[in-house]
A and B are shown apart, each in its own frame.
Chain A
């Protein structure tokens, strides 16, 4: 496999449910590569296997897939220090303060206490929660909790970020704000990101490339480069005609995928 790739997925098929007759094909022969520093979104209708691919890369998938997947040249496994994983819901631990949540990953990775606190505080300040570090999640709004979850993910400083619909549960306004926060964090040192979403606008606004998947069984329909200039302001993009052209194109591709499934 190519060592220059951050992520390499080749001829990947994932089948759920073991037995041949009752099993469901979730991912069908998917192949793609991602180079270091690239921000790539996986989009597709729900159930298209995008989260399955992410879980596979994180090492959380119980099923044994066909084909191959590599993260920085290594087979996926849980606890891979090269990966920072961000879940769909904020899933902050309510018994920990914002700071306590932000240090959690470093705690598991046995980073010294003083260092992990300093790093977490710095990240909380960058996501705009500097003055809320001693607050418990119950005292934070949805947007603030997701900011905290971003801090918890980026504090790990891993070369690869895998994000599973991190802003899926937010209202439109808050979502745009959080996307800008994510762009700020990412632009600072441009790590590799695989971003799963069903929101096409989000995918276009954030990514260097968008991989469009079909409805189940998930096949890759298209791999679309997003040539919008960086640095981007997500809110400014909302009025940019190029943004809407790309959005329209992707929407067309996604519609084809859905239609193929229904008929």
Chain B
């Protein structure tokens, strides 16, 4: 998953939000007015239309190449076949609506995040514990987690438990390091005033450290949710009773490339949906950024 994609998705609405917030007579940056003119010119041609045209052309070329035998549908599938597969899965028999994968990803994400934030706070309260456990955590985190999937399958069975375990093990470390980084990133200037005012440690934590750590922790959540999905799908690919990964493995073994491609697109859109949901949430919660 590419971080630059996330940043660009995040960046566009953020800049427009900023413009609204700035007072008119004392602009925070006059460069912004140039950006406004340029983006206005761009807006004359709707962006969605250009994207739609581009995608339609791509699908057309793909379909044409497949029907002309330039691109072997047995290896690459073809758009009409992919559409038929998705139609069948979503409309005719509804098998794609079952949501085992999404449920596993959400459970893994919530569990992993809650444990990670709790651990991060524990580290803050007990720095000695943090120092002592750091090498072990680094070692665990360095392990390719997907390689643990066979072990988790043995421990937690073929069902959703093993999938959640893999997703959890990925999410936990991502959110934990974000929490630790967030707590460390507190601006020392923001700590001087509470100190001078004689704020209690609890006041410093709830009113300074935590709010200033939230944006960093949130970027951990965003990444953690994507990795929870990755972990669940990865474990399903290896062995499962249900789920998109299991279906994907089955379709692959039976050379149903239309289905494989359809599921890959579905997973990509699922990831995109998750990312934009998190961005919306972040914008609503972290309006001050």
Q: Verify that A and B bind, or say they do not.
A: yes
Question: How would residues 61 to 79 of chain B score, 1 for a CB under 8 Å from any chain A CB and 0 otherwise?
Answer: 0000000000000000000
Q: Is A105 an interface residue (CB 8 A)?
A: yes
Q: Considering only CB atoms, which chain A residue lies closest to B199 in the complex?
A: A108
| B193 with A58: CB separation less than 8 A | no
Main secondary structure of the interface of A (DSSP, over half): loop
Q: Is A83 an interface residue (CB 8 A)?
A: yes
Question: How would residues 165 to 201 of chain B score, 1 for a CB under 8 Å from any chain A CB and 0 otherwise?
Answer: 0000000000000000000000101101111111100
* Given contact pairs A87-B189, A91-B189, A60 touches B195 in the complex (Cβ within 8 A): yes
Question: How would residues 124 to 137 of chain B score, 1 for a CB under 8 Å from any chain A CB and 0 otherwise?
Answer: 00000000000000
| A94 with B28: CB separation less than 8 A | no
* Given contact pairs A78-B195, A83-B196, A94-B288, A141 touches B211 in the complex (Cβ within 8 A): no
B107 to chain A, nearest CB (A): 30
| B196 with A91: CB separation less than 8 A | no
Q: Is B93 an interface residue (CB 8 A)?
A: no
Q: Is A118 an interface residue (CB 8 A)?
A: no
Q: Is B289 an interface residue (CB 8 A)?
A: yes
Distance, CA A87 to CA B212, complexed state (A): 19
Distance, CA A107 to CA B22, complexed state (A): 27
Distance, CA A52 to CA B18, complexed state (A): 39
Which of B21, B23, B26, B212 contacts A95, CB < 8 Å?
B212
| A60 with B28: CB separation less than 8 A | no
- CB-defined contacts of B286 to chain A, threshold 8 Å: 95
Sorting the interface of chain B by its residue count into under 10, 10 to 19, 20 to 34 or 35 or more gives 20 to 34
- CB-defined contacts of B214 to chain A, threshold 8 Å: 95
Q: Which of A87-114 contact B (CB under 8 A)?
A: 87, 89, 91, 93-97, 104-105, 107-109
| A93 with B21: CB separation less than 8 A | no
| A139 with B22: CB separation less than 8 A | yes
Q: Which of B210-238 contact A (CB under 8 A)?
A: 211-212, 214
The number of chain A residues with a CB under 8 A from chain B is 33
B164 to chain A, nearest CB (A): 33
Q: Considering only CB atoms, which chain A residue lies closest to B27 in the complex?
A: A141
A109 to chain B, nearest CB (A): 7
* Given contact pairs A87-B193, A91-B190, A104 touches B207 in the complex (Cβ within 8 A): yes
- CB-defined contacts of B208 to chain A, threshold 8 Å: 93
A7 to chain B, nearest CB (A): 16
- CB-defined contacts of A225 to chain B, threshold 8 Å: none
* Given contact pairs A87-B192, A144-B26, A135 touches B21 in the complex (Cβ within 8 A): yes
B119 to chain A, nearest CB (A): 24
Q: Is B15 an interface residue (CB 8 A)?
A: no
Q: Considering only CB atoms, which chain B residue lies closest to A101 in the complex?
A: B193
- CB-defined contacts of B190 to chain A, threshold 8 Å: 91, 93
Distance, CA A96 to CA B286, complexed state (A): 11
* Given contact pairs A87-B189, A93-B212, A108-B203, A139 touches B196 in the complex (Cβ within 8 A): no
* Given contact pairs A91-B187, A94-B289, A107-B207, A136 touches B192 in the complex (Cβ within 8 A): no
Distance, CA A135 to CA B22, complexed state (A): 9
Which of B18, B197, B212 contacts A105, CB < 8 Å?
B197
| B198 with A79: CB separation less than 8 A | yes
| B193 with A138: CB separation less than 8 A | no
A37 to chain B, nearest CB (A): 22
Distance, CA A143 to CA B27, complexed state (A): 12
Q: Considering only CB atoms, which chain A residue lies closest to B203 in the complex?
A: A108
- CB-defined contacts of A60 to chain B, threshold 8 Å: 192, 195-196
A24 to chain B, nearest CB (A): 21
A sample of 5 inter-chain contacts (CB < 8 A) reads: A89-B189, A95-B214, A108-B194, A108-B197, A135-B21
Q: A60-B196, A91-B193 provided; 10 other pairs, C-beta below 8 A?
A: A80-B198, A83-B196, A85-B196, A91-B190, A94-B288, A96-B288, A104-B193, A108-B194, A108-B203, A109-B197
Q: Give 8 nearest A-B pairs by CB, closest first.
A: A79-B198, A91-B189, A141-B26, A85-B196, A139-B21, A136-B288, A108-B197, A95-B211
Q: Which residues of B contact A (CB under 8 A)?
A: 18, 21-23, 26, 28, 187, 189-190, 192-199, 203, 207-208, 211-212, 214, 286-289
